[in-house]
Amino acid sequence: MDDTNDTPISEDDWGAAIAEQEKADAAAAAAASAPPMASGGAIFKEFSGKGTHTETHNDIDFILDIPVQLTVELGRTKIAIKNLLQLAQGSVVELDGMAGEPMDVLVNGCLIAQGEVVVVNDKFGIRLTDIVTPAERIRKLNK
């Protein structure tokens, strides 16, 4: 028998197909809402809010060892490649930051604090003077 005949599909055929699909959908919905079977059916634990608050204090421990890039930024500038190639030892590059102005402290490119330069045991460091609140960081992300 050839399945590629060109007989038109009647409205009765469409109606029968739709009715069959509705029965299958109703059976699937009934099976999904039925309680799990005790005789070998899969039993899944019901999700609830119970017990979640007692373990959240340890969740931060999972991320404490993740390395991030901390950057202290004195300032920025744009320079033409021609001028960049002319730089030599002893050249001075003018930055947009002013002397005495707080420096930005960035973690993975996101501003988290500002501070001032300090020298301790012949090493440079930064003393944090202002820490950006989480609400301010979120507000800056939305811009």
Pairing mode, strands 123-131 and 70-73: unpaired
Residue carrying the six token digits 């059976």: 27
pLDDT tens digits, 1-53: 445 555 556 667 777 778 888 888 888 777 666 555 555 556 666 666 555 55
pTM: 0.48
First-residue to last-residue Cα distance in the chain:
67
Least confident of 31-45, 80-94, 101-115, 117-131: 31-45
For the chain, the structural domain boundaries read 69-141
Q: Which fold has domain 69-141?
A: Surface presentation of antigens (SPOA) (2.30.330)
